[in-house]
A and B are shown apart, each in its own frame.
Chain A
């Protein structure tokens, strides 16, 4: 049997009913060499300290719920191998989010932002089923396919220096998911979204640090989406200045 690696996990603990501020607790964890960080956290919860709270579900980088900061880096804990980490592993809740408890963060703010960009197909008039499917070419699919791979893990929010300073900024994932629909050939809602992109949580707040794309576990490249969204929002704004009725049909 392969040897176990003993690692020291320094984990942030916070119980709002008891603690005034977050504190840390250390655990010696005998890790199987092919364990991921999430396996170690589950081991802590199952075998050492059942009071630890952390969120996870699929264990296969699909549900996006196990994001945490591991040694300061926003990480999907079910994807990160413990063997790739030093002997001491620091696990803290995802940065830039309010903490509910221990490693569990509050999602409401993100959900609100996501909803605000209308991440669904908007059509002036629904196409009747009898009229057949809406066909899409491979090239049209490629326009948005990459952005649709987002799993809402929010690592990009934890990595983004702008989110850290301007909490109202829509943020990488929400912009990428709104943009994903704006560039879908079946969608007719780009103008509506452009107005949202120019509004309170403006896309222009992005200073193109590119950190979001660096940490994205699904290679979505949200920074590209944000910059394409900026460009489209500018063109739409300029069209509004020179064309009658703001360029709207």
Chain B
């Protein structure tokens, strides 16, 4: 397991890095607009009307962005949590913790891809 984890480390780090990028830039904006701006009445929700949002989201670029937006932060979270586990003295249990966390991220990514295909 240790050897396999070492082999896929560059890929994980790539997903993790992109997750940070999207998580901090796009998701923050998303949360500010959808979870704060609109409910507080600071931003008009015209742009979020179903028809318009669906058109935008179901275009090819929209689907790719949505899938990335759902999947990549999962890898970021999984990788962070793995390192929190290691840094808090859990190097010995990494062979169990890492596959578990990455498994959840992989499953979530598959679900996200399936969801955007069905949009």
Residues of B contacting A234 in the complex (Cβ-Cβ under 8 angstroms): 10, 13-14, 17
Residues of B contacting A233 in the complex (Cβ-Cβ under 8 angstroms): 10
Q: B87 contacts A230, CB within 8 Å?
A: no
Main secondary structure of the interface of B (DSSP, over half): helix
Q: B89 contacts A204, CB within 8 Å?
A: no
Q: A207 contacts B14, CB within 8 Å?
A: no
Q: A165 contacts B89, CB within 8 Å?
A: yes
Residues of B contacting A30 in the complex (Cβ-Cβ under 8 angstroms): none
Residue of A nearest to B13 (CB): A204
Q: A200 contacts B13, CB within 8 Å?
A: no
Residues of B contacting A209 in the complex (Cβ-Cβ under 8 angstroms): 87
Distance A198 CA – B14 CA, assembled complex (angstroms):
13
B45 at the interface (CB under 8 A from A): no
Residues of B contacting A165 in the complex (Cβ-Cβ under 8 angstroms): 86-87, 89-91
Residue of B nearest to A240 (CB): B10
Count of chain B residues with a beta carbon within 8 Å of a chain A beta carbon: 15
A28 at the interface (CB under 8 A from B): no
A199 at the interface (CB under 8 A from B): yes
Residues of B contacting A205 in the complex (Cβ-Cβ under 8 angstroms): 86
Residue of A nearest to B90 (CB): A165
CB-defined A-B contacts under 8 Å, sample of 11: A161-B87, A165-B87, A165-B89, A166-B86, A198-B10, A205-B86, A207-B83, A207-B87, A231-B17, A233-B10, A238-B10
Given contact pairs A162-B87, A207-B83, enumerate 20 new A-B contacts (beta carbons under 8 Å): A165-B86, A165-B87, A165-B89, A165-B90, A166-B86, A166-B91, A198-B6, A200-B6, A204-B10, A204-B12, A205-B86, A207-B86, A231-B17, A233-B10, A234-B14, A234-B17, A237-B10, A237-B11, A238-B10, A238-B14
